Amino acid sequence: MANHAVFFDRDGTLNLDPGYLGEAEQVVLLPGVAEALLRLKKEGFRIVVISNQSGIARGYFTAKEVDAVNRRINELLKESGVTVDAFYYCPYHPDFNTPEECRCRKPSPQLVFMAARDFDIDLGRSYFVGDMISDVECGINAGVKTILLKNTLKEEQISGLLVKDKLPNFIAENLIDASDFIIKDFSGGN
């Protein structure tokens, strides 16, 4: 039987986004993240992070440093009894790499599809949560339900999704709000 999952963006969704986070010591989880992930895990969801990490292509940090940041996120989460099952990231950027290399960049669903294969995930029973328009578009492109975190988005950015006919299934104030929606929606609204 296939699994269900919640795919998450990383920076600005799970942790503070200082811009090109390449140092594990700088990881700060956003409020409520551990609680939200723990609730989703208890409902049987796999937790998978899908992120663009163009700082590698830009020379700001290495893949090894991105892996260290990801490990640090899991170390901090583990203190609350939860961890991310897998991290997938695209290290490329169109200014520095070929179009073929950049095929993994969100809003492409390529990394979601890779995770679905690796973990036998049923995308029709899964969700994508992020704080950027590209996260919503990636989720739509992958065929999963989408949740947009307001965080720092301005109303005109959210309105931009309407123009593109790419509205998320839900707009959440924070990750607790997003997890409430997912759990209620997944159980059929009971």
**Model pTM score:** 0.94
CA–CA dist 100, 153 (Å, integer): 30
Are the C-beta atoms of 176 and 156 separated by less than 8 Å? no
- Could you tell me the two tokens for 168? 């998320």
Are the C-beta atoms of 137 and 106 separated by less than 8 Å? yes
Strand pairing partners for 90?
Answer: 52
Amino acid in position 48: V
Q: How many CB atoms lie within 10 A of CB 124?
A: 10
- CA distances 66 to 13, 23, 25, 78, 81, Å, are 16, 8, 12, 18, 23
Per-residue confidence (pLDDT) for residue 152, from 0 to 100:
61
What fold is seen in the domain 5-186?
Answer: Rossmann fold (3.40.50)
Per-residue confidence (pLDDT) for residue 188, from 0 to 100:
85
How high is the mean pLDDT in each 10-residue block of the chain (190 residues)? 90 94 96 97 97 97 98 98 98 96 97 98 97 93 95 66 76 95 87
CA–CA dist 44, 129 (Å, integer): 17
Contacts of 89 (CB under 8 A, 6+ apart): 10, 49, 50, 51, 52, 53, 66, 111
Per-residue confidence (pLDDT) for residue 153, from 0 to 100:
64
Helices 133-142, 110-119: inter-axial angle, 10-degree rounding: 50
Per-residue confidence (pLDDT) for residue 189, from 0 to 100:
65
Are the C-beta atoms of 82 and 34 separated by less than 8 Å? yes
CA–CA dist 82, 84 (Å, integer): 7
Tell me which residues are annotated as active site. 9, 11
